[in-house]
Amino acid sequence: MIYLDYAANSPADAEVLETFINTERNYTGNPNSAHPLGMQAREKLAEVTADIARTLAVFPAEIIYTSGASEANNLAIKGIADIQQKHGKHIISTPLEHASVSGPLAWLQEQGYEVDLVDIGQDGKIKLEHLRELLREDTILAAVTAVDSELGTIQPVQEIAELISHYENCRLHVDATQAMGKIPFSFAGIDTVSLSAHKFFGLNGSGLLFKRRPLELTPLIHGGAGASLYRSGTPTLGLAAALAKALGKATASLQERYAQVMKLNEELRQELGKNPAVVINSPADAVPHILNVSVQGIKGTRMQQMLAEQGVCVSVKSACSTDGQPSKAVYAVSGDRRNALSSWRISLSHLTTEEEIGAFLKILTGLVAGKA
């Protein structure tokens, strides 16, 4: 089996699993409880949170534990929209967003909010001039992805933050799910940031939302104590500790892992570029972890199935998107619906081997030749 879908899920690191197991075994009490074992667990949670805060260069009080980036995106978008509606109901986003961003935005539209999408250039980046034109005095939120999950495009987050800073009632939410642990990321000028542990070799069902002080949000969950006023429920100490371990390892080895993945990406681009039936959709300056391609005349879903039959795992769009529809990201950059329908995603990690890349290329070449 050749696994080329690390952007959808990465295998849990052995040390991360060990951290989770040991934490769950050694800390019996509920961190919300007032007795000695509860206080011991609460102290450990504070220690873990401080560790994460140091890694991210933020304050511990700015961290809200969630079940993953989907919950974090919903909490940020719905929570900001509700609090800020006294200033307006205008929201700006992009056609590149994950379903956990576009979904709550569509829900807000049904509640009477107005949502505008920023135009995308052929390089996959949002057009800053169009963003400037869309910003209004009643704009209360801009929601953008740091790295597009389909193309791997790196968005100019700091330039976006600078534009938005001139509108005092507008908040900036960034989905950093595909950026964290892969590329350097700055929280400067951003109000909320979501991330998910299973994208950087942590555990599924674990993530967090960064919320800059003193921003307020309307919670999604009401009732019951929690580690944060904005997320009720008993904190899962083991998941928090495992997230801290995964995040620490990913950031500490970021440069080394990046170099390994870049080498594999360059090899893929070079070899795929020799095949006239293959179109590379990811821009040259995308993260090397994601490479979006199309094979002319073959729908992405069919190509995925054909590769799966040969033991190769890839994705069509993101793992959480709707099947059978053209990729909005690829269509946005190419304007070609057929090409967007034919697109699919290869995603790599430092665990991907040269042997796997060689075997994949041989399989793909055979499949394309057989359909020619």
For the chain, how are helix, strand and coil distributed in percent, rounded to 5? Answer: 45, 15, 40
CA 241 to chain CA mean position, Å:
20
pLDDT, residue 335, reads 84
Mark which of 252, 280, 295 sits at the end of a domain: 252
d(Cα 282, Cα 138) in Å, to the nearest integer? 34
Q: Identify the H or E element spanning 88.
A: none
In a shared domain, residues 149 and 82: yes
Mark which of 226, 252, 278 sits at the end of a domain: 252
Q: Is residue 125 a contact partner of residue 332, using CB atoms and an 8 Å limit?
A: no
> Angle at Cα 124 formed by Cα 206 and Cα 183, nearest 5°?
45
In a shared domain, residues 240 and 259: no
In a shared domain, residues 145 and 157: yes
Mark which of 252, 273, 293 sits at the end of a domain: 252
Which residue in 358, 281, 267, 286 sits closest to 316, CA to CA?
Answer: 281
In a shared domain, residues 161 and 266: no
Q: Is residue 242 a contact partner of residue 17, using CB atoms and an 8 Å limit?
A: yes
In a shared domain, residues 157 and 274: no
Give just the sign of the alpha carbon dihedral 103, 155, 353, 340: positive
Give just the sign of the alpha carbon dihedral 195, 147, 336, 110: positive
The answer to whether 320 is a known catalytic residue is yes
In a shared domain, residues 187 and 300: no
Q: How many domains does the chain have?
A: 2
In a shared domain, residues 64 and 154: yes
Catalytic residue among 12, 320, 359, 363: 320
CATH number for the domain harbouring residue 73: 3.40.640.10
Q: Tell me which residues of the chain have a pLDDT lower than 50.
A: 320-321, 372
Output the pTM of the full model: 0.94
Residue 156 belongs to domain spanning: 14-252
In a shared domain, residues 176 and 317: no
DSSP-derived letter for residue 126 is B
Amino acid at 35: H
Q: Identify the H or E element spanning 78.
A: helix 69-84
In a shared domain, residues 65 and 207: yes
In a shared domain, residues 290 and 245: no
CATH number for the domain harbouring residue 288: 3.90.1150.10
pLDDT tens across 312-369, in order? 999 997 554 455 678 888 988 888 899 999 999 999 999 999 999 999 999 999 999 8
In a shared domain, residues 154 and 244: yes
In a shared domain, residues 87 and 163: yes
d(Cα 339, Cα 150) in Å, to the nearest integer? 14
